[in-house]
């Protein structure tokens, strides 16, 4: 990734963006260059977030001889979400104009989410002045981002009823993007080898029963007998590997490099994990959950074999 990012090649989508939105004397050009700079800073931090969680995942997956019960799912989910956001922003398959509007949408959503989080805090738990400073800071960021976007020649388009902003539009060159990033759809389209994995990670993060019960070999009413579910552990590793390949692919193609060799190595690593998971289903040392409590359980990655078909077993969650 560092190699690709530090040496973008002439004619690549990256340099095309530089040329299309070069900082100039025109205020709109200056605004577009500023959007591009801020968006690239955001994308760099998304990459660092993914890398940080990849390193953490490597540490918790048996590095000390122990195996986690749940944390691999939530950590892998962060890697996957970061990867699809990164790929959506660094998409070499769309125009420079489309990428810039996506960049602006991501900046807008970030400011809105920050404001929503602060406004959800109970005001009575903070000194009045401190709470007001937080609100003012959020409003200031929202205003700055809106002015940056509008100064770059983009407009917020409302719904047909006219009361809700739904899209961000740029008229010259023409491009428009919804004011929403649907992570579930991005996961399905950009990480098709891991269907349903985003929901698995979500079930663990939110402590839904269906996402937790597969590590327990007891029945309701009995003392817990906890053992890592090897299919979920493998799915977490496989999904994170695919996510890293996705980022390598988009970063390489955006900067004019050929990422094929790096992507192939990631695919080989995923295949090695898949082979281990297939062995696990027939090994006495590995816990593969049986249907004790219900019909089916949480969805997992696309591991299929004769002994157990995790996709058919795991996609009937109630």
pLDDT in tens, 218-243: 888 899 999 888 888 889 999 999 99
Kindly report, residue by residue over 169-179, the tens digit of the pLDDT. 999 999 999 99
Q: Quick check: is 72 in a domain?
A: yes
CA distance 155 to 259: 36
Residue 194: is the preceding peptide bond cis (ω within 30°)? no
Kindly report, residue by residue over 241-275, the tens digit of the pLDDT. 999 999 999 999 999 999 999 999 999 999 999 88
In this structure, the chain runs to a length of 318
Mean pLDDT of 125-134: 93
Torsion, Cα 61 67 68 73, to 10 degrees, reads: 40
Q: Quick check: is 173 in a domain?
A: no
Q: Quick check: is 168 in a domain?
A: no
Q: Quick check: is 267 in a domain?
A: yes
Q: Quick check: is 122 in a domain?
A: no
Tally of domains in the chain:
1
Q: Quick check: is 142 in a domain?
A: no
Q: Which of 54, 29, 34 is nearest to 239 (CA)?
A: 54
* Cβ neighbours of residue 12 closer than 8 Å, sequence gap 6 or more: 254, 255, 256, 257
Q: Quick check: is 141 in a domain?
A: no
Q: Quick check: is 161 in a domain?
A: no
Please report the pLDDT score of residue 293 as a whole number.
Answer: 46
Q: Which of 240, 237, 229, 203 is nearest to 288 (CA)?
A: 229
Give yes or no for a contact between 199 and 302, defined as CB atoms under 8 angstroms apart.
no
Does residue 201 surpass a pLDDT of 90?
no
Torsion, Cα 85 86 92 94, to 10 degrees, reads: 30
Give buried/exposed letters for 112-124 (b at 16+ CB in 10 A, else e): eeebeeeeeeeee
* Cβ neighbours of residue 286 closer than 8 Å, sequence gap 6 or more: 230, 279, 280
Instruction: Give the pLDDT band (50/70/90) at residue 1.
Output: confident
Does residue 305 surpass a pLDDT of 50?
no
- Residue 263, domain extent: 2-110+184-314
285 phi/psi in degrees, rounded to 5: -80, -15
Q: Give me the residues paired with residue 170 across strands.
A: 154, 175
Please report the pLDDT score of residue 39 as a whole number.
Answer: 93
């Amino acid at each position: 990734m560092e190699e690709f990012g530090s040496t973008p090649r002439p004619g690549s989508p990256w340099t095309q963006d530089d040329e299309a939105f070069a900082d100039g004397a025109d205020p709109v050009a200056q605004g577009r260059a500023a959007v591009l700079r801020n968006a690239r800073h955001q994308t760099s931090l998304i990459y660092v977030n993914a890398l940080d969680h990849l390193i953490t995942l490597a540490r918790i997956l048996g590095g000390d001889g122990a195996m986690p019960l749940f944390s691999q799912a939530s950590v892998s989910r962060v890697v996957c979400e970061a990867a699809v956001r990164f790929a959506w922003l660094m998409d070499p398959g769309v125009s420079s104009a489309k990428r810039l509007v996506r960049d602006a949408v991501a900046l807008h959503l970030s400011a809105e989410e920050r404001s929503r989080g602060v406004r959800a805090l109970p005001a009575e738990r903070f000194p009045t002045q401190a709470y007001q400073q937080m609100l003012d800071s959020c409003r200031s960021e929202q205003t700055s981002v809106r002015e940056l976007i509008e100064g770059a020649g983009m407009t917020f388009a409302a719904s047909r009823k006219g009361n809700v902003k739904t899209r961000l539009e740029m008229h010259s060159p023409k491009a428009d993007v919804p004011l929403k990033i649907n992570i579930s759809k991005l996961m399905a389209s950009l990480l098709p080898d891991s269907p349903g994995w985003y929901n698995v990670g979500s079930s663990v993060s939110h402590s839904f029963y269906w996402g937790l019960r597969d590590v327990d070999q007891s029945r309701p009413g009995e003392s817990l007998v906890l053992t890592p579910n090897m299919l979920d552990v493998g799915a977490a590793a496989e999904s994170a590997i695919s996510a890293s390949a996705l980022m390598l692919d988009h970063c390489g193609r955006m900067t004019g490099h050929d990422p094929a060799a790096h992507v192939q190595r990631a695919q080989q690593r995923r295949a090695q994990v898949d082979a281990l998971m297939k062995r696990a289903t027939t090994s006495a040392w590995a816990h593969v959950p049986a249907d004790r409590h219900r019909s089916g359980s949480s969805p997992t990655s696309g591991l299929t074999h004769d002994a157990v078909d995790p996709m058919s077993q795991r996609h009937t969650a109630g």
